[in-house]
């Protein structure tokens, strides 16, 4: 197995302000709603979100890896609801997110949320316990937005020979364009940080931070081109996406806290007036 590489992470840059969608009064109302929801959740010990539906909708193979391993997506909740996608693993040696995607599949999904769970988009790297895929490409430098050449095969941030050169990247790009998620959450390790954001996405990040205890802090340094979450924000209409940098370890209890946080910010997004989301 390839050794774990030094910890340089995928910074999810702050989302640009969206003035055409949100006025000052809208944010005040949304922040008050967020505060009320968070207060209730925190007071109850961040218990899993309650709901009326636990419907399993479908399980799909959305593509295959370099070695032909299926990339699977599980759909739970309500068809036609607000679409949220969670990606547990993109770097194969950062696997704590799998505990969260497992917990999400065992919890109650609130009505009105169309939840897609992708445990790993890098099944070969996950099996090999290496950052990149079987071609040793860093998939989080391979997405077709702001892509740039970086390194050569064997370099730990090798961005691939061209943008979206890898089958795993192609699969995710096609899938995201199909389902058009309103929100994407991408898990990494092990900085224990969520980068700050602006607008509604900033509210989502702050809510996740407060529910899980992961601090909001800007990641500095590094070269972040061809990043998955950045591609999603710029390529999916009105879509939001952010990276959650987990710590070095995660246990099952903490994973349940994170899964609850996912569902609670999804409810916050669901309950935002449609006129404010401009969907």
Of the two residues 3 and 225, the one the predictor is more confident about is 225
pLDDT at 28: 40
Which domains are assigned to the chain? 24-277 (3.40.630.10)
- Contacting residues for 124 by C-beta, under 8 A, at least 6 apart: 65, 66, 67, 69, 92, 133, 134
Q: What is the DSSP letter of 157?
A: T
Q: Give whole-number Cα distances, 7 to 76, 119, 173, in Å.
A: 33, 21, 26
Q: Is the pLDDT of residue 124 over 80?
A: yes
pLDDT per residue over 130-149, tens digit each? Answer: 999 999 999 999 999 999 99
With 0-12 / 13-18 / 19 or more C-beta atoms within 10 angstroms meaning exposed / middle / buried, residue 25 is exposed
pLDDT digits (tens, 9 = 90+) for 9-20: 433 333 333 333
Query: Cβ(218)–Cβ(273) under 8 Å?
Result: no
Q: List Cα–Cα distances, 182 to 3, 176, 217, 236, 255, in angstroms.
A: 36, 10, 23, 8, 23
Half-sphere exposure of 4 (CA within 13 A, CB side): 13
Dihedral over Cα of 242, 247, 251, 257: its sign: negative
Calculate ∠ Cα 143-157-169, nearest 5°. 25
């Amino acid at each position: 197995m390839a050794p774990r590489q030094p910890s340089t992470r995928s910074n999810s840059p702050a989302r640009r302000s969206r003035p055409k969608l949100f006025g000052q009064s809208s944010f005040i109302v949304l922040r008050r709603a967020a505060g009320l929801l968070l207060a209730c959740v925190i007071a109850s010990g961040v218990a899993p979100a309650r709901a009326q539906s636990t419907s399993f909708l479908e399980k799909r193979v959305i593509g295959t890896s370099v070695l032909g391993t299926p990339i699977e997506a599980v759909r739970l909740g309500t068809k036609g609801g607000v679409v949220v996608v969670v990606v547990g693993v993109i770097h194969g040696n950062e696997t704590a997110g799998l505990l969260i995607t497992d917990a999400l599949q065992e919890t109650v999904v609130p009505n009105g949320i169309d939840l897609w769970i992708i445990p790993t988009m890098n099944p070969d790297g996950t099996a090999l316990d290496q950052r990149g895929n079987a071609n040793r490409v860093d998939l989080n430098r391979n997405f077709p937005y702001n892509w740039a050449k970086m390194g050569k095969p064997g370099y730990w941030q090798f961005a691939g020979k061209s943008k979206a050169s890898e089958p795993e990247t192609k699969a995710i790009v096609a899938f995201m364009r199909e389902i058009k998620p309103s929100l994407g959450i991408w898990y990494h390790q092990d900085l224990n940080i969520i980068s700050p954001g602006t607008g509604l996405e900033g509210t989502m990040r702050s809510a996740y931070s407060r529910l899980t205890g992961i601090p909001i802090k800007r990641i500095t340094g590094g070269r972040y081109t061809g990043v998955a979450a950045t591609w999603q924000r710029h390529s999916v209409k009105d879509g939001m996406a952010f990276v959650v940098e987990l710590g070095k370890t995660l246990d099952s209890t903490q994973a349940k806290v994170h899964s609850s946080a996912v569902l609670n910010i999804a409810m916050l997004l669901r309950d935002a007036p449609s006129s404010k989301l401009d969907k």
